[in-house]
Amino acid sequence: MVKQVRAARTRQALVRAAAEVFAADGYAMASLPSISRRAGVSAGALHFHFASKDFLAREVEDAAADLVQKMAGEARSSSGTVLESLVGTTCRLLVAMAADPVVRAGFRLGSDPSRKNGPGVLAWWRTWVHERVAEAREAGELADDVSPEGAAAAIAAATVGFEVLGGADRDWLCEERAAQFWAFVLPRLAAFPQQAMATVTGAGGVR
């Protein structure tokens, strides 16, 4: 049992270290020795858990998608409407892109040309945003004259763009930026903008 706990910790340390190296140097330049060194484990231990850099990257991508899904679940449970949960999730995501190397690396790997194994987290996120906006339309939460496709594309693209611009300037990834973005988008998008805005402007920022 103790051995299993230790193995799980080692695996977690490797995923975090890999995420840090992938986000900082890109997939091509990330070396397995630099990842095992950063995780404080031997090269042998790395190879015991991950047969290749590709497996390590997949694990980072899966972990990032899981984390975003968890944020979405939390935003959902504290929200009254679909739009509130969409706003809450993107706000949490922008903050996590700055604070959590796994989330940042998950999105980065999706746009890294040296990582050839599909768009991963990006495709998942794009689909997730589209589904939420469609759901909001079904629930009568969107303004009548707004196109769900256009809105979903703008929201998905902007969140991905915030991460890219945040690579050079962390100021792009914070609650204030997220609130500013939604203050711009919601009056056009929502049937009842003020209700959805409550998610970002509640006491303490993002709830």
Binding site for its own copies (CB under 8 A): 22-29, 108, 110-114, 118-119, 122-123, 126, 145-147, 149-151, 153-154, 156-162, 164-165, 167-169, 172, 177, 180-181, 183-185, 187-189
For its own copies, the closer of residues 41 and 61 by Cβ is 61
Cα–Cα distance measured from residue 108 to residue 30, given in angstroms and rounded to the nearest whole number: 13
CB of 172 to its own copies, least distance (A): 7
Cα–Cα distance measured from residue 127 to residue 50, given in angstroms and rounded to the nearest whole number: 29
CB of 108 to its own copies, least distance (A): 7
In this structure, how many other beta carbons lie within 10 angstroms of the beta carbon of residue 95? Answer: 19
CB of 164 to its own copies, least distance (A): 4
Q: How far does Cα 59 stand from its chain's mean position? A: 14
For its own copies, the closer of residues 71 and 109 by Cβ is 109
> What sign has the CA pseudo-torsion 181, 186, 187, 192?
negative
Q: Quick check: 98 and 151 in contact, CB under 8 A? A: no
CB of 21 to its own copies, least distance (A): 10
For its own copies, the closer of residues 126 and 137 by Cβ is 126
CB of 155 to its own copies, least distance (A): 9
Half-sphere exposure of 150 (CA within 13 A, CB side): 8
For its own copies, the closer of residues 72 and 200 by Cβ is 200
For its own copies, the closer of residues 41 and 96 by Cβ is 96
Cα–Cα distance measured from residue 202 to residue 133, given in angstroms and rounded to the nearest whole number: 22
